[in-house]
Amino acid sequence: MSIKYIVREGITGIQRTKLAATTSIFSLFVAVLLLGLLTRIGFNVYSQAMSIKDLIEVEVFLLDVDDRTTNQIRMQLEDEELVQEVTYISKDSASAVMRQEFGSGVEELAELNFLPASFRLSVDTDAGADQIENLVSKLQNVRGVDEVEYNEALLRVMESNLNTFSLIGGGIGILILLAALILVYNTIRLTIYAKRDLIRAMKLVGATNKFIRSPFIIEGVLQGVIAGSLAVLSIFVIFEFAIPFYLSDLGTLGWPLGRWYFLVGGMMVLSILMGWWGSRLAASRFIKESYISS
C-alpha cells in the first residue's frame, strides 16, 4: 500500500468536494473552538470556586476546659481525614481580634474576656457539603466542644451552582461534538459517492476495502488538522489579545493545569480524532454499500 498515494488521494478528496469539505472543516473548527472556550472558562470558574471554598472554615468553640482536655481535642481534630490545618485561638487572642475588628468602642467588652477559646479548621477543598456536615455533626459530640459553626449556606449554594454549570457545560459539549461528527461523516459519504465508479473499478481489479478506505480516513484526519489549527489560533487571539484589549477588567484567565500546551494539545488531538472517527465510520459503512460493491 503506497502512503504517498493514500495522502494524495486524501488531499484530492478535499479538493473534489470543496463546499462539503469547507462546511465540515468550519463546523469542526467551531466545535473544537467552543469546547476550548468552555474548557478554559470552566477551569477558571472551578478555580475561583475552590478559592472561595478555601475561605470556608469550620470553627469549633470550646467549653471552659483545662489545657489537657484542649490538647486532647486538638489531637482528635488533627486525626480527622478532612481536616488540613488546625489553628488554636485562645480567649485572649479572640478578645484581641474583637478589638482589631470593632475598634475602641468594644474595649470594655473585650476586657471582660468573655469570648470562648476555639479551634479554626481548614478542610479539604475537595470535600462536599455533605461530608463537611458529617464532620460537623461528629465534632459536636466531642467532649469539651460547645458549638461548631461554618458557612453552610454559602458552601451549598456554591456547590449547587458549580454542579449546574458542569452539567450544562458537559451537555453543550456533547451536542457540539455530535454535530461536528455528523458533518464530517456526511462529507466523507459525499466524497465516497462522488467516487463510486472509481471505487467499483478498484474492487473489480482486486483492491481491498482497507486500501480503498484509507484515503477517505486521511481526508477526515486532514480536516481535523486544519480545523484544530484554526481553533488553536483563535483561542490564542481571543484570550491573549481580544479579551485583554476589550475586557481588561476581566483580568487574565489561567490556562488549565497552568500550561497552555495542555489545552492546545487536547484541542488538536480531539479535532484529529473527530475527523478520523467520522471518516472511518462513513468509509467503513458506505464502501460496503451495494452501489459500490463488486
pLDDT one-digit tens code per residue, 94-105 = 655 555 555 454
pLDDT of residue 229: 94
Burial of 2 (0-12, 13-18, 19+ CB in 10 A): exposed
Same-domain status, 93 and 177: no
Average pLDDT over residues 131-149: 88
Same-domain status, 143 and 77: yes
Confidence of residue 250 (pLDDT cuts 50, 70, 90): low
User: What would the grid cell of residue 121 be?
Assistant: 479548621
Same-domain status, 190 and 229: yes
CATH code where residue 90 lies? 3.30.70.3040
Same-domain status, 45 and 176: yes
Range of the domain at 210: 3-51+157-292
Domain boundary, last residue among 95, 117, 150: 150
Same-domain status, 42 and 99: no
pLDDT of residue 108: 46
Same-domain status, 212 and 285: yes
Same-domain status, 188 and 125: no
Same-domain status, 32 and 65: no
Angle, in degrees to the nearest 10, between helices 152-194 and 260-286? 40
Range from 6-20, 77-91, 256-270 carrying the lowest mean pLDDT: 6-20
Same-domain status, 161 and 146: no
Domain boundary, last residue among 131, 150, 169: 150
Domain boundary, last residue among 118, 150, 182: 150
Same-domain status, 276 and 173: yes
Say yes or no to pLDDT of 75 above 70.
Answer: yes
How confident is the model over 8-18, as pLDDT tens digits? 767 776 777 77
Same-domain status, 196 and 136: no
Number of domains in the chain: 2
**Sequence-separated (6 or more) residues with CB below 8 Å from residue 61:** 116, 117, 118, 145, 146, 147, 148, 149
Say yes or no to pLDDT of 91 above 60.
Answer: yes
Same-domain status, 287 and 171: yes
